[in-house]
Amino acid sequence: MKKVFLYLAAAVVLFSACKKEDEKVAVTGVQIEGSATVAINLNAERTLTVTVLPENADNQNVTWRSEPAGQDIISVTPNDQGAVIKANKRGEGIKIFVKTEEGGFEASVTVNVVDPGAVTGVEILMETTDKFIVRGSKVPINLKFTPENPDNKNVTWDFDSQFVNVTAKDASKGEYEVEGLLEADEITITVTTEDGEYTDVVVVNVVDPWILRSIELQEELYLEVNDAETISVTIIPPDARIKSIEWVSSDATVAKVTKKEGTDAEVEGLKEGTAKITVTVTSDDDEVFTAECEVEVKLVVLKLAQNWYLNAKFDWKDGWDVTRIEVKGTAGSAFTRDIDLTDAIHEAGFAVVSGLTPNTDYEATIFNADGELNTVEFKTLTVVDGEIDVPVWANLNDFVFNHARDYNVLKLDGGGAVYDEVRFRISTSITIKGGEGGTIIRTAGNKKMWGNNQKMDVIFDGIHFVYTGATGADIFNVDAAKGENGPSIDVKLIAFKNCIIEGFGRYVWQTSDNYDIVDEFLMENCIITGHLDGGNRRVINFPNASNKLGKVTIKNSTFVNVNRIVSASLDTAPTDPAVTEATVENCTFYDVATGTENLFDYNNKHAKVTISNSLFAKGKAVTSNIARTSGEKIATKNFHLNDFVPGNNSIPNIEKYDKTSDEVFTDPAKFDFSIKEATFKAEGVGDPWNKVLKF
């Protein structure tokens, strides 16, 4: 009996299992993944991913429709994931529906088709004062589109042609002119875009060229005691006939009008205080116009000229017989410094105060024999995480860094901050770093970097150097002999990392002294471009036979419009440093090496040159030379394109790829040297960093 029961139980279980397998999983809903509203560019495609719920439902069939119906704005093509939608026309609020075959469940998404080249706004720009147009003259009336460069810039103008006329100067740039035809006030000019019918309005006045309509004068003027400045009244229209111009000061003991000539007046500050300068202009028909300028006069003898790390430089005016400067910490202990004008760090007219504390507020007071003259407040530079924060206002022109401190990193402002006319005086190791978002050091050239006779590291990291000078000047000219610290420099390392050096004229790095020594020169992740108008365009220049240049290492860098990378007129192989060599890895060279130049020129003296994984493109001459040295040349996995023909001083084992630069690179004219040629299989050759070059 027990056995029969067991067989019966097994049968029941088997029957139950079969029944579950036969049951279907019903559809309970459907969803479109992502946001309920999506934007898609005109002519672009996008995939809408659909999930039938539950995911293991037996019936996965769905249908699609759009509202408004039809395929003119959005076309829908089903696929395995859901559907691909394509934007055919501009439109907003297009509903795309998906519906399950089983149960009729629906989901939807709203699609807006965006045309990035479509006009979304227009603005009229006019610089004419008070929109006055002199009869018979033309003035610019320009358009500002949104976006800045739309596909369709066609517009229509609406105006009263009896009084004005608008004509195109360069419609592709939104540049027009309006001519005054007949005198009238408040003439409305309306512009309407063809794309989108956006409008803007400007109201102008056409005036007689001889009748005075208005005058203008600057509202404020700041003067120091004993200083003078010229202010001018603007006559509108400029050729209007006037009888007289009168200038008056409300307090001539504070600010006095000293000279008057036509529409100009010179105002001199006499003592501290405020005064109003009023100009009165009487027209030819006796109409009177007035304007005022508020003048503030301050006694300023002492100024903070520069803020150097823990030092501060002060300037003062001549003729005050200065005896001392007193510097006090506003929230701590004070010290007094008497100025000795024979001291090496002081000269008549300026003084340097050192030994200050970072991120501290100070006030400096200047004295002469009669007592206190005036006081200035200042704050020393901030140190964050061991880095000295050097804002633009601190002024890097003639920046002195000459003491070994706890902090040897200068962090410059980012966000595209521009430092002009920079000169460093350095005699200890230093790293100068750019800030996040880009840092520009703009120079017209020949910026001295004075050094001391000691082993030091000088590193630039993340700086965009922009050269603005002529073709015959250097970005850095290392010149210790003209400084105060000895006859030569003896540097352990000079490095440029993650830098752009744009448009240099003669040399990037030039030594001027006969006995300068550099153990190692490093360029890594850099982009170097030469001056478009010519010049020597040599990156590293050691022109004297007694110079000593050790190891040159260049990695992951691009060189454009450069004649030489290394130019070293070495007398013999130097014994200190013992090794003279150049190592080049993963670099791209474009528009380089004239017929008489060598990219790496050691004057046929003994130097080892190793080049690997590099790409040479577009030489400057029929043949272009790569390396001139009597030492060993080692080369592996290097290529040249057919517009770069290696000359007599080449490197071994360089392989030709029979395409031009324009065929291989994405857009060399715009400095995009990424590889577009699909058949170029030399993976890992050239500069992998070059896409960042965007001037």
Q: Is residue 109 part of a domain?
A: yes
- The residue out of 330, 363, 379 marking a domain boundary is 379
Strand partners, 245: 281
In terms of domains, do 473 and 614 share one? yes
In terms of domains, do 471 and 341 share one? no
- The residue out of 155, 189, 207 marking a domain boundary is 207
Helix ranges (DSSP H) in 182-226: none
Q: What is the pLDDT of residue 397?
A: 67
Q: Is residue 11 part of a domain?
A: no
CA dist 509 and 337 (Å) reads: 39
- The residue out of 57, 84, 114 marking a domain boundary is 114
In terms of domains, do 427 and 562 share one? yes
Q: Is residue 484 part of a domain?
A: yes
Cα 45 to Cα 39, 77, 141, 528, 581, distances in angstroms: 11, 10, 40, 40, 54
**Count of Cβ atoms closer than 10 Å to residue 628 Cβ:** 22
Number of domains comprising the chain = 5
Helix/strand/coil (H/E/C) assignment for every residue in 337-381 = EECCCCCCCCECCEEEECCCCCCCEEEEEEEECCEEEEEEEEECC
In terms of domains, do 407 and 334 share one? no
Contact between residue 405 and residue 383 where contact means Cβ atoms under 8 Å apart: no
| Residue 147: CATH number of its domain | 2.60.40.1080
Residue with tokens 């715009």: 670
Q: Is residue 592 part of a domain?
A: yes
In terms of domains, do 617 and 521 share one? yes
CA dist 350 and 253 (Å) reads: 30
- The encoded tokens of residue 148 equal 């800045």
Residue type, 360: T
In terms of domains, do 324 and 198 share one? no
Task: Show the low-confidence residues of the chain (pLDDT under 50).
Answer: 1-19, 341-345, 404, 480-487, 572-578, 691-695
Per-residue DSSP letter, 488 = -
Residue type, 98: V
In terms of domains, do 261 and 197 share one? no
Digit-coded pLDDT (tens) for 359-412 = 888 888 888 888 888 888 888 888 888 788 888 877 676 666 655 456 788 899
In terms of domains, do 149 and 235 share one? no
Q: Is residue 316 part of a domain?
A: yes
Q: Is residue 3 part of a domain?
A: no
Closest CA to 685 of 660, 663, 654, 645: 654
Closest CA to 478 of 466, 470, 468, 486: 486
Q: Is residue 470 part of a domain?
A: yes
Q: Is residue 309 part of a domain?
A: yes
Q: Which domain holds residue 218?
A: 214-298
Q: Which long-range contacts (CB under 8 A, 24 or more apart) does 649-655 make?
A: 649/598, 649/625, 650/625, 650/626, 651/609, 651/611, 651/626, 651/627, 654/616, 654/626
| Residue 309: CATH number of its domain | 2.60.40.10
In terms of domains, do 687 and 557 share one? yes
- The encoded tokens of residue 50 equal 């659909």
In terms of domains, do 441 and 574 share one? yes
- The encoded tokens of residue 675 equal 């590889």
In terms of domains, do 576 and 485 share one? yes
Cα 360 to Cα 314, 332, 379, 407, 619, distances in angstroms: 17, 9, 5, 16, 55
The DSSP bridge pattern shows strands 302-308 and 424-426 to be unpaired
In terms of domains, do 64 and 162 share one? no
